Amino acid sequence: MATASEIYRTQIDLKRIDEIRQICRGLPSACSDFIRHITVTTGTFTRLAYAMDLRTFFEFLHAERARFGVKELPLLDDTDLAALTASDLTAYTEYLTYYLKAEDQDTDSEKIDERRVLINHDLAIKRKLCSIRAFYDYLFQAQRIPSNVTQLVPLPKIHEKPILRLNADEMEKLLATAQTGEGLTAMQQRRLEHTKTRDYAILSVFLGTGIRVSECVGLNLSDINLDEKAFLVTRKGGNQVILYFPDDVIAALEPYLEERRKITTLPGHEDALFLSQQKRRITQRAVQNLVKKYAAVAAPLKPRISPHKLRSTFATNLYQDTGDIYLVADVLGHSSVDTTRKHYADMTDARRRMASETVRLPEPVALPAMPEEAPAETANKTVSRRAKRHTLHDHAAAETENTATTMSEQPILATAQRRRRRTDQPDHPEPMEVQVLTEENNTSSVSSEQPRRRRRTDHTSSPNQST
């Protein structure tokens, strides 16, 4: 027998499948083929996002590009799709920055409701272009078009932004606002009397466990075990995991569970944990508006606080307390730890300061202490050192001057010395020198003749040896 979680997830999938089919009825048949092609590898939420992106794209082509407006969208065939150009995609990129929903295309500009205006930034534009790329990749690989022109258009460059999260004071004020209603409008305070316990429990679950908004909405009464401080969560893709929560979350859940068991729900929502005022399972949009309402009071300078930002707050606090990135990835349900490291493991100022306090240098070698001297002796030594420096300076200056003079006189002295040596030099060397030279010559001549005699003797005796 299927559990309540499985029944709820099946209902959500069937609802999304029906919405996908309705969208594809107004698009070319190739879109339905593409959605069926990715059914095995993607979930219903992903396929619905692809279908919505394709609808936006083909509505643009039909309204803004003349050659695609000749036929109705369901009648466009593969030949028409192959006529797409890079110029069409560039125009579509610009179109995504500001456009109206389909039902407001023909309204007067002065009467346009601001709630129907759609503005996309770089990240949303990149996601929509990636959907078109995936669609045309499928057509090209299936050999339904001769080329894939979407590869010629670059995607927007995404600039990394700091993760928005709440600090400790903002978290405390957020929970206090949900309990007291201080800072809310009069109408919001009147509604708070009926939802105070529920809202406080929802915010505590987000900050204490870091679950996604879809996981929070899908919680059932049968999924919670207060004795074990745990609940069963259905992750993206249908995987189920048991998560544990701290005592603060139990303190927030117990009063709400008492109220929840007294409520009679609409059929099909008997096991839902968090209910709306209509006695049915609360929706994701209602939870998003709930968080935004309290965050506007607790953190007025952070207007983009959402349930996912509360998830980021939990992840950052857990990483700073434990330093275990793998633990954070496991609790958040990330399939890759790189995703966790990219978004939550940022180097904060406190961690940089910790690095400077961790490094230790070796102790310096102690130098021998100098003996203390009397002030008078120190003064005398200072005076004597100064006098000595002046004396050395005078000697150095004098030597420099003498050196310069000597260097200037060197050519004249060298010429006089050469003339004197030529005048004093005798015509013949001394007899002793001649004798020495003669002996040296004789010695060299004797030493040179000895090998000749030996060679001559050897040559003379060689015939006798041969005979």
Per-residue pLDDT tens digits for 224-234: 999 999 999 98
Q: Are residues 327 and 211 in the same domain?
A: yes
Q: Where is the domain boundary, 123, 152, 181?
A: 152
Residues 125 and 156: beta-carbon distance below 8 Å: yes
Question: Which residues form the domain of 49?
Answer: 4-152
Q: What is the pLDDT of residue 204?
A: 96
Average the pLDDT over 333-346 and give the result.
76
Q: What is the pLDDT of residue 97?
A: 92
d(CA 62, CA 52): 15
pLDDT digits (tens, 9 = 90+) for 272-281: 999 999 999 9
Q: What is the pLDDT of residue 461?
A: 45
Is 393 within a domain? no
Q: Are residues 174 and 55 in the same domain?
A: no
**In 3-state terms, what secondary structure has residue 232?**
strand
Between 449 and 138, the higher pLDDT residue? 138
Q: Are residues 123 and 220 in the same domain?
A: no
Q: What is the pLDDT of residue 335?
A: 82
Indicate the pTM of the whole model: 0.68
d(CA 336, CA 331): 12
The residues, any chain, with a CB within 8 Å of residue 92's CB and separated by 6 or more, are 57, 60, 61, 129, 132
Q: Are residues 62 and 208 in the same domain?
A: no
Extract the tokens encoding 232.
């069963």
d(CA 318, CA 324): 8
Residues 307 and 295: beta-carbon distance below 8 Å: no
Neighbours of 281 (CB within 10 A): 23
Is 103 within a domain? yes
Q: Are residues 216 and 246 in the same domain?
A: yes
Q: Where is the domain boundary, 312, 328, 355?
A: 355
Q: Are residues 143 and 186 in the same domain?
A: no
Extract the tokens encoding 251.
């303190």
d(CA 281, CA 266): 9
Average the pLDDT over 340-360 and give the result.
65
Q: Are residues 251 and 121 in the same domain?
A: no
Residue 303 has pLDDT above 70, yes or no: yes
Judged on CB neighbours under 10 Å (0-12, 13-18, 19+), 435 is exposed
CA distances from 425 to 316, 412, 413, 434, 462 (A): 101, 20, 18, 16, 56
Q: Are residues 144 and 182 in the same domain?
A: no
d(CA 110, CA 397): 94
Is 75 within a domain? yes
Residue 234 pairs in a beta bridge with: 240
Is 312 within a domain? yes
Is 28 within a domain? yes
> 104: pLDDT confidence band, cut at 50, 70 and 90?
very low
Q: Where is the domain boundary, 287, 322, 355?
A: 355
CATH of the domain at 176: 1.10.443.10
> 457: pLDDT confidence band, cut at 50, 70 and 90?
very low
The residues, any chain, with a CB within 8 Å of residue 49's CB and separated by 6 or more, are 131
Residues 269 and 279: beta-carbon distance below 8 Å: yes
**What's the number of domains the chain is made of?**
2
Q: Are residues 147 and 276 in the same domain?
A: no
Residues 221 and 273: beta-carbon distance below 8 Å: yes
Q: Quick one: DSSP state of residue 241? A: E
Q: Are residues 61 and 123 in the same domain?
A: yes
